[in-house]
Structure 1
Amino acid sequence: MSPAPVAGEARSGRAEVSAANLLSESATAALRTRLVRCEIMPGERLSEPELRATLGFGTSPVREAIRRLEFEKLVVIYPRSGTYATDIALKDSRSVTELRLEIEALAAALACQRGSRAEKERLAELAERQHETDDLQECIDLDAAFHRSMYRMTRNDYLTTTAEIHFNLALRQWYFCSKEVETPDWTGVDHRGLAAAIAAGDPEAAGRHIREHVLHDSHQVVTILTNYGL
């Protein structure tokens, strides 16, 4: 029987595991951002040496990041071929939209109940800024900030994680459109009604607004990609 580790050894082991986890989480977050924002374009092959150099992490954190992002459908691994950024496919858009209609409505309802006054005011500010901009890239960034703020207001880590995964897939399509299409036909997002419903604690109105938004954005992406043959 092996001797039990002494207290100092146990603490050292836990610290090493914690440090390794932190590195993996940081590498995952950095690579996720590049994939979602289409800094690594759909279909592009991922090179581990290049990722280690550009992200500033070692082999283990980068490989763990790739493994996690495969689960999130942002990368795909082909045995004996390599790892690639997942393609943008219209057939996947409907599946993501179907899930988001339910997840986002639940998030909005919980935000109504659990969000603080300061958080609700922050949502209203984001909605106003987004309504005023006529820049597609800024609109996308503000939309991301709005949704992620709403998720935090749910006080439900499981919901937040699930919502983030599927939101990132939809968000990636918008970043792709903004990069590939010079003057896409789009209409600005207006979250002011949703922000007001959440501030008023009205889950029914909030659910209606968020469902309309998800459907509207989904239809716009499909139209843009189809019209431009992407």
Structure 2
Amino acid sequence: MVAIKKKSRSADSVEKVYEKVKGLAIDYHFRPGERVNEVELAAQLGVSRTPVREALNRLSKDGFMNFVPNKGFYSRDLTPEGVRELYEVRMVIEQSTFRFACQRATDEEIAATTAIWEEVSQHRPPQNDQDWAKIAEIDERFHMEIARISHNSRLYEMLDSLNSLSRFFRRIDLETPVRRNNAYDEHVDIIAALRQRDIEKGVALIEQHISLSAEHAIEVTKEGLARIYFGKP
């Protein structure tokens, strides 16, 4: 019994370290292509190297790190192509979750899901006064709820993983004029299609809502690099 408790505490410790390091990786506290110093990171977190290495191994599988044999772990790159690819995969998954939500969700589930974004829309502040980080968080929660009511756990998990990888860019994306001017209206249209269970219309709207042009991907990447290297808010 004692051994089981000890093992449980050890697993809990590894999970906490993983979540902390993942949080750092999400926001690029490790600069693109930077080698992660396991000793320094362990000291920073006040833990041994073992849970840190386990966390880095998991993050490598998750796409946040690149492992180079005999050299160590390196932070993920930041390129326009990489940003655009994330959005393209997310678009395909969200189109699928929307389709299944229309087919499988109850009216009550749809009503609860749409309420997440409608509450924001009803108290919409002036553009310059908006907390876009908070808006991005609610936007993510709204889309994850559509995935939940699609009743496909694997799609839900895939979208959750993609959201973590793209969260840094999602905040920046919503702050750009081309996105923020359309964010609310696009959500209203998606909600209407979901309520009507209009799959064809909703799938098209999601493509319009999520897809990035090559030019916009470059803008998001430039802004991201400015924040990482120069601390631009």
Compute the TM-score of the two structures, normalised by the length of structure 1. Answer: 0.73
Aligned equivalent of 2:231: none
Secondary structure in 2 matching 1:45: coil
Aligned runs of 1:79-228 on 2, under 5 Å?
79-112=69-102, 113-114=104-105, 116=109, 117-126=111-120, 133=127, 134-174=130-170, 186-188=178-180, 189-190=183-184, 191-216=187-212, 220-225=216-221
Report the Cα distance in structure 1 between the residues aligned to 2:29 and 2:65, rounded to whole angstroms. Answer: 13
Equivalent residue for 1:5? none
d(CA) in 2 for partners of 1:25 and 1:218?
37
Secondary structure (helix, strand or coil) at the match of 1:88 reads: coil
Query: Structure 1 residues 24 and 185, CA, compared in 2 at 3 Å: closer, same or farther?
Result: same
Q: Relative to structure 1, is the Cα distance of residues 62 and 203 closer, same or farther in structure 2, using a 3 angstrom cutoff?
A: farther
Q: How many residues align?
A: 216
Q: What's the offset of the Cα at 1:107? A: 1.6
Q: Which moved more, 1:124-133 or 1:81-90?
A: 124-133
CA contact (8 A) 1:48 1:62 kept: yes
Which letter does structure 2 place at the counterpart of 1:124?
E
Which amino acid counterpart does residue 89 of structure 1 have in structure 2? T
Q: Structure 1 residues 169, 128: closer, same or farther in 2, change over 3 A?
A: farther
Could you tell me how far apart the structure 1 residues matched to 2:214 and 2:132 are? 15
**Stretch moving more, 56-65 or 75-84:** 56-65
Q: Is the 8 A contact 1:38 1:176 kept in 2?
A: no
Q: Give the distance between the partners of 2:52 and 2:124, measured in 1 at CA.
A: 34
1:76 aligns with 2:72: no
How many Å apart are 1:204 and its aligned residue? 2.8
Shift in alpha-carbon separation, 1:98–1:119, aligned structure 2, 3 A: closer
The alignment's TM-score, normalised by the length of structure 2, stands at: 0.72
| Cα 1:132/1:194, change in 2 over 3 Å | farther
List per-residue Cα deviations over 1:160-211 (Å, max 9, x = no partner): 2211222333333345779xxxx95543123222233334433333222211
Structure 2: unaligned runs, 5 residues or longer: 227-233
Q: Which runs of 5+ in 1 are unaligned?
A: 1-7
Deviation of the 1:123 alpha carbon: 3.8
**Percentage of identical aligned residues:** 22
Please state how far the C-alpha of 1:122 moved relative to its aligned partner. Answer: 1.9
What RMSD, in angstroms, separates the aligned Cα atoms of the two structures?
3.5
Question: Which amino acid in 1 is paired with 2:145?
Answer: S
